[in-house]
Amino acid sequence: MKTTLQSGPFAHADHRVDRTMLTVLLALLPATLFNLWLFGLPAILLFACTLGAALGFEALWLAATGRDARAGLADGSAAITGWLLALSLPPWAPWWLGVLGAFIAIVIAKHAYGGLGQNLFNPAMVARVALLVSFPVIMTAWVAPQPLFTERAASVAQSFAVLGQGVPDTMVSATPLGHVKTELSRALPASQSAADAPALPDLLLGRRAGSMGETSVLLILAGGLFLLWRRVITWHIPVALLGSLFAAAQLASLADPARYTDGLFHLLTGASFLGAFFIATDYVTSPMSPRGKLIYGAGCGFLTWAIRSYAGYPEGMAFAVLLMNALTPIIDQYTRPRVFGRQRNGEPLPLRPF
């Protein structure tokens, strides 16, 4: 019995990339289904376009570079990218926005960097930000929930019209964060405009205008807890992110309630939970050590608050994540664990009397 040389270990954990990715998709499923119902047929069509385009570009790229497209698609990473991108778009955006976003995410943000595992920035967020700065009007044209099977549900004809042209001007609605920002620019205090936001139960369930990923806080949280339970992610990034976002907002709001909304408002509006559990925790673009994750998560949370409060855009999660992505290599470098028998600086431990 002559064998080819293989190194151990000869046993292996039942861990596989494709299963991990599948778990993430499973965690996103409840929130996604709820939102597809909430925003109706136009949202379903856009979701399908975006996801399909992401998978299509992945397959095309792999085929064009001479790799096995089926094996590449099987790892599930392109599906997650397309899925998250679709969740971060306005639900009634035109079809080409999703397709263009998928192109940016898959081809430019992922494969131009060398493919899976090599990209510095979160592909879905690169696409979202690129679309946001290129098409600011379309990317902030939100719509109030129009649930399926209700009298407000979009008809088939209307749905295809939306898919072609986007939200009709008459139906454009603002997110709570956007509303506060607009009112502040009209010198209306934040404490007053924040009160216009939907009631707490509606915010938790997601009955408000916004992207599909941000509205239903409870279902996203449930998905995140599922990922924690399945040990796909650790608590460090979500806790640090939400904690620092809440702390920054709460402190600022205590200091100047007219200018700043409070911590709870920041947590429950916008894409805080989607970002904390599903975007910032992307393996490829986040630090690896627990300490690094805490620093990174805290950075994401604080930057999100700062961008929401001071920058021109109402939502800052995508920008914050991209900025912290850029810092990931350096965070990784400075948060490596201490090596057994060595001090933090790499020198051997001194011999201690016993």
Partner 1 sequence: MKNHPIRGGVHPRYWKELASGQPIAAFPLPARLSLPLQQHVGAAAIPLVEPGQRVRKGERIALAPGAMSAPLHAPTSGVVHAIEEITAAHASGLPQLAIVIDSDGLDEWAELPAPLADPFAAPPEEIVRRVAEAGIVGQGGAVFPTAVKLGMGKQYRLDTLLLNGAECEPYITSDDRVMREHAAEVIDGARIMAHALGVAKIIIAIKKNKPEAIAIMREAARAFAGIEVVGVKIQYPIGYAQYLTQAVTGRETPAGRRNAEVGVVVQNVATALAVQRAVRHGVPLISRVVTVTGTAVSRAGNFEVPIGTPVAELIAHCGGYRARPRFLVNGGPMMGFQLPDENVPVVKGCVGIVALAEEETARQPEQACIRCGTCMDVCPIGLPPVEMAQLIRKDRLDDAARLGVGDCIACGSCAWACPSHIPLVQYFNHANGALWTADRQQRKNERLRQLAEARSARLEAARQERLAAQAARKARAAAPRQEISE
Partner 2 sequence: MSSAIVSLTLLGIVLGGLLGLASHWLAVEEDPIEKDIQAMLPGSQCGQCGYVGCAQAAAALARGEAAVTLCPSGGRALAEALAKKLGVSADLDGHAEPVPQLARIEEALCIGCVRCFNACTVDAIIGAPKQIHAVLSDICHGCGKCVGECRTGAIALQPVAPSVASWIWPKPAAGLAREVAA
Chain residues binding partner 1 by CB under 8 A are 1-3, 5-17, 19-20, 75, 77, 115-118, 283-284, 287-289, 332, 336-342, 346, 348-352, 354
Q: Identify residue 118 by its one-letter amino acid code.
A: Q
Strands, DSSP E only, in 116-270?
A: 142-143, 172-173
259 binds, among partner 2, partner 1, none (CB under 5 to 8 A by kind): none
Name which of 229 and 340 has its Cβ closer to partner 1.
340
Q: Give the DSSP letter of residue 89.
A: S
Q: How far is the CB of 38 from partner 2 (least distance, A)?
A: 41
C-alpha distances in Å from residue 176, one per residue of 111, 143, 189, 203, 210: 36, 12, 14, 10, 8
C-alpha distances in Å from residue 137, one per residue of 53, 170, 209: 23, 14, 15
Q: How far is the CB of 71 from partner 2 (least distance, A)?
A: 7
Cβ neighbors of 43 (< 8 A, separation 6 or more) are: 35, 36, 91, 92, 212
Q: How far is the CB of 296 from partner 1 (least distance, A)?
A: 12
Name which of 18 and 196 has its Cβ closer to partner 1.
18
Helices (H) and strands (E) in the chain, counts: 16, 2
65 binds, among partner 2, partner 1, none (CB under 5 to 8 A by kind): partner 2
Name which of 67 and 259 has its Cβ closer to partner 2.
67
Q: How far is the CB of 287 from partner 1 (least distance, A)?
A: 8
Inter-residue contact 47 to 97 (CB < 8 Å): no
Residue with tokens 């700043």: 260
8 binds, among partner 2, partner 1, none (CB under 5 to 8 A by kind): partner 1
Cα dihedral 259→301→31→195 (10° resolution) = -10
Query: Which of 220, 322, 327 lies closest to 270, judged by CA?
Result: 220
Q: How far is the CB of 278 from partner 1 (least distance, A)?
A: 15
Inter-residue contact 247 to 230 (CB < 8 Å): no
67 binds, among partner 2, partner 1, none (CB under 5 to 8 A by kind): partner 2
Q: How far is the CB of 351 from partner 1 (least distance, A)?
A: 6
Name which of 126 and 219 has its Cβ closer to partner 1.
126
**Interacting residues toward partner 2 by CB under 8 A:** 5, 7, 65-68, 71
1 binds, among partner 1, partner 2, none (CB under 5 to 8 A by kind): partner 1
152 binds, among partner 2, partner 1, none (CB under 5 to 8 A by kind): none
Name which of 72 and 224 has its Cβ closer to partner 2.
72
Q: How far is the CB of 234 from partner 1 (least distance, A)?
A: 8
How many CA atoms, within 13 angstroms, populate the side-chain half-sphere of residue 347?
4
Name which of 68 and 196 has its Cβ closer to partner 2.
68
Strands, DSSP E only, in the chain?
A: 142-143, 172-173
12 binds, among partner 2, partner 1, none (CB under 5 to 8 A by kind): partner 1
- d(Cα 256, Cα 178) in Å, to the nearest integer? 19
